[in-house]
Amino acid sequence: MDRLPFTYKEFLSKQTITLEEICRGLVKTNRDRINIKKEERAVQNLHRIVQAVLSLSQTKGFSAMSLRDLSQETDLSMGALYNYFNSKEELFQMIYTQGRTSVFDTLEANAVASDPELRLQQSICAHLYLSEALPRVFSFFFMEARNLPAQLQKNIISLEQLTEGFFEEILQEGKKKKQFALEDTQLTASAIKALLQDWYLKRYKFSTRRLNVEKYASFVIDFVGANLK
């Protein structure tokens, strides 16, 4: 195995990847809907709310999560909650949309090499590291996508298709430059995505094994690499 383009620690030090930071963005883009004057207070409480939503969604799903559950988990009354959003559905869409933006921006910022092979490795690492830092955000996207209104589902290209297109582009360039020998770039991109998804959808599985995100990144790079030669 070649060396990884960057370690998890290096990745984290390059940018601020926390749920709190995402919530800060969330407050800024939804300033009009949130009836709280002091921005910092809004950020802190929304952080608690979003944490609770992600946690409860993981165990019972967003639609089965009641606002009473949310109230209990956040120690905010139902009345108080409604100062941070106007409906349960709006809360869902706020989290979904903001998360999508934050995640994709980070992915783009970390896959910058011009050499396709290196760029592919950077993308794989960035995706795995990001999902390692925010696992519940990623599984929320995946598991709750069906709760998006039909309009949003059509208009917004899902995060998944975005990242898959991202990988395909790299593969196509590598193929053009004769660096990669592969038949179907679309299928290969899809396979890469499936391997990355496994990391955050099956955390319970990997957590019991002696395996960290860097080892898994090496594995994926090798596993994919064997098909490009």
- The site for DNA (CB under 7 A) is made up of 35-38, 41, 45, 65-69, 75-80, 82-83, 86-89
Q: How far is the CB of 159 from a second copy (least distance, A)?
A: 13
Instruction: For DNA, give the closer residue by CB, 58 or 83.
Output: 83
Token pair 């179907």 is at which residue?
A: 184
Interaction partner, residue 221 (DNA, a second copy, none; CB < 5-8 Å by kind): none
Q: How far is the CB of 72 from DNA (least distance, A)?
A: 10
87 binds, among a second copy, DNA, none (CB under 5 to 8 A by kind): DNA
Give 50's Cβ-side CA count (13 Å radius).
Answer: 28
Question: Of 71 and 101, which CB lies nearer to DNA in the complex structure?
Answer: 71
Give the distance, in angstroms, between the CA of residue 169 and the centroid of all CA atoms in the same chain: 20
Which amino acid type is present at position 11? F
Residues in contact with a second copy, shown as a per-residue x/- string from 179 to 208 under the rule CB under 8 A: -----x-xxx-xx-xxx-xx---x--x---
Among DNA, a second copy, none, the one that 89 touches (CB under a kind-dependent 5 to 8 A) is DNA
Residue 154 in contact with a second copy, rule: CB under 8 A: no
Least distance in angstroms from the C-beta of 37 to DNA:
3
Q: How far is the CB of 70 from DNA (least distance, A)?
A: 8
Taking residues 18 to 47 in sequence order and writing x for each that binds a second copy by CB under 8 A, - otherwise, the string is: ------------------------------
- DSSP letters of the chain? -PPPSS-HHHHHHHS---HHHHHHHHHHHTTTT---S-HHHHHHHHHHHHHHHHHHHHHH-TTT--HHHHHHHHT--HHHHTTT-SSHHHHHHHHHHHHHHHHHHHHHHH---SSHHHHHHHHHHHHHHHHHHSHHHHHHHHHHGGGS-HHHHHHSPPHHHHHHHHHHHHHHHHHHTTS---S-HHHHHHHHHHHHHHHHHTHHHHHTSS--HHHHHHHHHHHHHTT--
Instruction: Decide if 81 contacts 70 (C-beta within 8 A).
Output: yes
Nearer to a second copy, 64 or 112 (CB): 64
- What is the contact surface with a second copy in residues (CB under 8 A)? 58-61, 63-64, 143, 146-147, 161, 184, 186-188, 190-191, 193-195, 197-198, 202, 205, 209, 211, 216, 219, 222-223, 226-227
